[in-house]
Structure 1
Amino acid sequence: MRLFLTFLYFPLWSLTPLYSQTKEQYQHDLSALHTLLKKTPSYKDQITGVSLEKYTTLYESLMKDTTSLTSYHYFINLAKLVMPIHDGHLSSAQMRDFANFKDRVSIEKYVASQEFKDFPSYSINIDSLKTVLKEKSADSVEGIYYYDKYYQIGIVRITPNEYIGVIVDKHEEMNLWEKGQIALHLYEYEPHYFKAVYAHPLTKNFILYNNERLENQSFINSYFYLSYTETIYRKNLPVIDYTNLPKEAPMFQLKNLTKNTQYLLIKNFSANSFIVKQSNAFMIASEPD
C-alpha cells in the first residue's frame, strides 16, 4: 500500500506500494511506520511509561493481525499505530492519482473496475438501519448525515467507542458510491472527539483525520481536498446553518435576515495588514447612506 504520513501537512514518508497484499509486506510497512513515528516530537513527549507499554502491546498485536489484509483492513491497522499520538497535524493517507477521476470517462472506468466492486461495505439492511437512525436524538453521534446533495451516510455504533458510517442513500446521478459502502470509521477517545478514517468522497482513498470533532451536529473537520463540494458531513438541520460556514464564505459580511434581525459575520480579527485592509473596506461599504 502506498501511503503518505504527513506532519504539518508536508509529506515525510511514502510506504512501499502494495500490489499483492502479503503478510511480509504488511509487517514491513507497519515496522517502517513505527520507526518513523518514534522520531516525531509528539511520540517522544507522549509515549512514555505506561503509555509506552500500551503502545508496544498495540504494535505487537498489529504485527500479528494478518488474517485479513484487504486494503481497508491494511490501512486501518496502519492508522491505529498513529491514533494514540495526540497531534492534530499528524495524519496519513492512502495515495491516489486525481487524474484518474478528472472527468466522466475516467470515473466510469473506475466504476466498472474490480476495485470499485471490492470496495469495503458493511453488511446490514439499509432500510432497517435508516428507520432506526431516524429515531436517534439530534445530539447523538449515531444518525443520518448529509454530504451536500450527493449522498447520505448512516453512522451506527459497532462497539462502545467505535462507529461505522455507510452509504444509505444517494443522488440518482452519484455513481461513485453504492448503498452499504463504508464512507467513514470513527474511534471516539473522548465524548464527541474522534480519530476518523474517511474514504475521500471522490477518489475513495482512505485518509486518517487524527483530530475530528462532532459539533453542532457536524463533523467540523471533514473537508476533502479536490472533492466536488466544500461542505462537511452534517445532519440535516431544520434551519439555515450559520455555524458551519463554507470555505468560500466572505471574510466579513452584514445582511438582513428579517426586518428586525441583522447577521454580522467576522471570520478574522487579525491585525495582519491584508486583513485590516479588507476590514476597512467592509466598514466603509457597510456605512449607511
Structure 2
Amino acid sequence: MKVKKAVKEVSFSVQDGECLALIGPNGAGKTTLINMLVQILKPDQGTILLDGEQISGAREKIGFLPQYPAFYGFMTAVETLRFMGRLSKMSGRELEARIDEVLRQVGLAEEGKKKVSGFSGGMRQRLGIAQAILHKPKLLVLDEPVSALDPIGRREVITLIEALKKETTILFSTHILQDAEEICDRIAMMRRGEIVLDKPLSEIKREASTSVFEVEFARDPESWFEAIRKSDRWIRAERIGTVCRFEAKNRREDGEWLFIEAGKAGLDIQRFENIRESLEQIFMKKVSE
C-alpha cells in the first residue's frame, strides 16, 4: 500500500504576539499540521518548539479551537468552562473569576447559565474560543474558526479574533482568503504538504503590485487620454467614462510619469491607483504551480 505524506519537511516560526494565517486548499495538510502542534498527532520526525522547549512539555501554554468544537449539550456555558478549566488544572476562585471574564470577553455574559444545546453556531464558536483562552495560553491555535458560520456568526468571531491579537500569539488555518487578509500579520501558504509561501502580509501586498494603473477624474478626460495614450510607455491603454487604465512597460518609471501628467491635466483627480493582485490571485498561482 502506498503511503502518502500529509506534511513534508515543513519549517516555519511564529513570532511572539504575531497572528499567522495558515492557508491552502483542502488536502494541503493544514489540519494535520495543526493536530501535530496541539499534540493530537505525533510527527514521525522533526521538532516542534514553544518558547524554546519541546511542545510536549508545553501543553498548558496552548489554547486550541477545533473546526467543529464539541460540547455536552446538557451543560450550561459556565458549567462547560468550569469542566474545561479543571481539565487544565484550574480551580477555586481563580477559575470562577476567569470564567466570568472570558464570557464577557466573547460576548456570552448573558448566556452563561443557558444550556449549550440551545446555542447558535456562532455562539458555539465563541464558547469554543472562551475555553481555548480560559487558561491564558501563550499560543492560540484555531482550525477553520469561521468556515461553518453564517455571515453574522462569522463577523462576530472575526471581530473577536482581532481583539485577541492584542493578548496572545495566534495561528489559525483557513481557506477563506478574505479572513486571512483581514486579520493576519503573516501568511504561510501550504500546498501538497509543503509551505510554498511564508511572508508578512505587507510584503506580499507590496510584491503583488502589477504594472496597471487607473486614474479616475471628476470630469471627462477624453482629450487628455487621447494625447497620453500615444506614448510608447504603454502595453495597452483604455478609457471607460472618467476612468483611464494603463498597463505600463516599466511600473515605477512610467507610473511616476503618469502621475505627473495626470496632475497637469487640471481635471481634478478622484483616484490614482496602482492595481495589485488580490490574495486570491496569488493563491491560485501558487496552487497551480
Q: Give the TM interval when normalised to the shorter protein.
A: under 0.3
| Structure having the larger proportion of residues in strand | 1
Q: Which has the larger radius of gyration?
A: 2
What TM-score do you get using the length of structure 2 for normalisation? 0.27
Q: Larger relative CO (CA 8 A, sep 6+): 1 or 2?
A: 2
| Structure having the larger proportion of residues in helix | 2
